[in-house]
Amino acid sequence: MKVEISSLPDRELRDYDDKDIVEVRVDGSLIWQVYDDDPKDSNLNRSFKDCRRVGILMKLAFDAGVRGEKFELIEGQVSGDLLWK
């Protein structure tokens, strides 16, 4: 199981008014994404709705361990042009 956690590099945060985004991909598929938004929109029903998927992420990791899969965690930064797609 390969888990990739990506966010914006510091130099790009300025371009996005210090609004960051974090996404989690499991085996290449986007599973989880949260992002800074306008204060009125930064809530669990919009910008943070994927927080409800934490249980899914845990189950995926657990099942991969039961199957004996290697767990690989990669943390990095990626261009905002790629993250905002």
Summarised one tens digit per residue, pLDDT across range 4-22 is: 998 888 777 777 677 778 8
Query: Stretch 44-48: mean pLDDT, rounded?
Result: 68
Residue 25: what pLDDT?
92
Per-residue model confidence (pLDDT) at position 3: 92
For β-strands 29-35 and 21-26, DSSP reports them as antiparallel
